Structure 1
């Protein structure tokens, strides 16, 4: 059986948007769709059985999500599941058997960006499978290039090109899992793939013999662009119809990616799987992306 696309729902606006996005993604990937509700998110240490009220709330949350999916993606088959918390552990178990796990991002503040709860952060930092975070007001319209005047975008949605998929690529550690996810996402979304790498001019103190850091900026940018082209060549051959735009920009990766993702349908970033004593981390780039990027963000784990 194919691994499903799983969306976690709790009745909030962001989880409903995540469920709708997951339904569209399940159709694109030709995968089953499963909605998971975690009851008893913070159980006592001695355990606490689900009450009738909790189970009623769970059924209502799942029903609302399924109703929204049927309004926007009619005909999509939905499987539902209620699982016991704590939430982070329950969702990590769900992610382990998923093709993709979809979660919601809460709210938007002009000062701090999207609010990502501790549960979502814990799942992103530890999940063995890709996790996509979706904002509360995300709709199918946000995935497509605006329709031409006189064209019905809903009726012609299957032929409407998707907005760019953006891949934040670390050329110091280019990982196949992350690159492949982005190329496949662009194919599924009928979108152009924009690959972005941010570089910073090192100080003379940090340079060793043979480093290229002291060359002029245009030449250094050309060096990075040539390296990016070489890294992506095998993927261009695997996806010959892909429309790929390669960009290298001087600046902090966090800031460059937030700007690059403006107007995109999806941002793809990587997260290195580590066994550090301090515990799993999302890393500074993924952390900035999931807090400040407005479009859905896919965080792909890699070795």
Structure 2
């Protein structure tokens, strides 16, 4: 089966930005792009309402993906673009549509009320349940272009891509998350900034150890762990320039701050099979809500 890059489209500016991002990513990967539009049936009395009748339904199920595909083909000549219209619950339908995809791109906000599948809780549900990488894209922040600004302050393909930013738990790393970030940087021919944030031990925070030398030694240890974790990946991707950072403090806050200078933020999500349902860790949750750049969440065991 040929892999594809899948994007969920609901007609909002965020989902259109996600479609544009996905088109660029598909070209970088040399893969087709599939635009998926989900129609969640509404109760019959609502469907017969003047604003929700046959013409409105036709607009959502046919016109939006068709026009989006036409525009993407014009802006990205040579890219194979297909559309698929599905019916069902938004989150579960999108997760299923992406089962065989390289990744799923979504707008991080969408229309409120019926017809908008990327209302916050639903978007988080997609991230929490998908086994494939999910990229969330905002409109009007850095979604339109991942390139460095030119002399006029406008992002330009001539200036190259911003670095890829990887948030990594160096003490419990996962190869799939690291590989995704290195591959993203290699495709963009840009650098990779790896950030391993860590919190001070409770006994230090509560004043049981105020020795500055203790903090410095702990910082060196964390930096050494990160360097050792990345050593084989530097060898595997010699053309990717890697910058390592191991600051103390909230990892989520550090990633959010650094995201303004990134083309893509990559974080992991541990798959937890729990009777209480899927879970998104606090760091990933913070980055999804506050990062300025598109965020790729890579599920791992």
Normalised by the shorter chain, which TM-score bucket? 0.7 to 0.9
In the TM superposition, what whole-angstrom CA distance separates every residue of 1:176-217 from its partner, at most 9, and x where no partner exists?
A: 0100000000111221100001111102399xxxxxx99611
Shift of 1:120: 1.0
Output aligned runs, 1:179-218, within 5 Å. 179-204=178-203, 216-218=214-216
Output aligned runs, 1:1-303, within 5 Å. 1-40=1-40, 52-53=54-55, 54-106=57-109, 117-137=120-140, 142-148=145-151, 157=157, 160-204=159-203, 216-303=214-301
Q: 1:43·1:85 contact (CA, 8 Å) conserved in 2?
A: no
Change (3 A) 1:73 1:245: same
The 2-side partners of 1:242 and 1:61 are apart by 39
Q: 1:132·1:296 contact (CA, 8 Å) conserved in 2?
A: yes
In the TM superposition, what whole-angstrom CA distance separates every residue of 1:24-51 from its partner, at most 9, and x where no partner exists?
A: 000000111100000126679xxxxxx8
Shift of 1:230: 0.6
Unaligned residue ranges in structure 1 (runs of 5+)? 45-50, 108-114, 207-212
- Aligned to 2:28, the other structure's residue is in SS state helix
More strand by share: 1
The 1-side partners of 2:155 and 2:257 are apart by 26
If the length of structure 2 is used for normalisation, what is the TM-score? 0.86
- Aligned to 1:250, the other structure's residue is in SS state coil
Q: 2:145·2:155 contact (CA, 8 Å) conserved in 1?
A: no
Q: Structure 1 residues 159-168 or 246-255, which shifts more?
A: 159-168
The 2-side partners of 1:116 and 1:199 are apart by 31
More helix by share: 2
Q: 2:39·2:87 contact (CA, 8 Å) conserved in 1?
A: yes
Change (3 A) 1:141 1:127: closer
Residue 49 of structure 2 corresponds to: none
Between the two proteins, the alignment pairs up a number of residues equal to: 281
Shift of 1:261: 1.2
Shift of 1:2: 2.4
Change (3 A) 1:257 1:152: closer
In the TM superposition, what whole-angstrom CA distance separates every residue of 1:71-129 from its partner, at most 9, and x where no partner exists?
A: 4323322110001111111001012111110000128xxxxxxx952221111001010
Change (3 A) 1:136 1:37: same
Moved >4 Å (runs of 4+): 41-44, 138-141, 151-154
Q: 1:144·1:163 contact (CA, 8 Å) conserved in 2?
A: yes
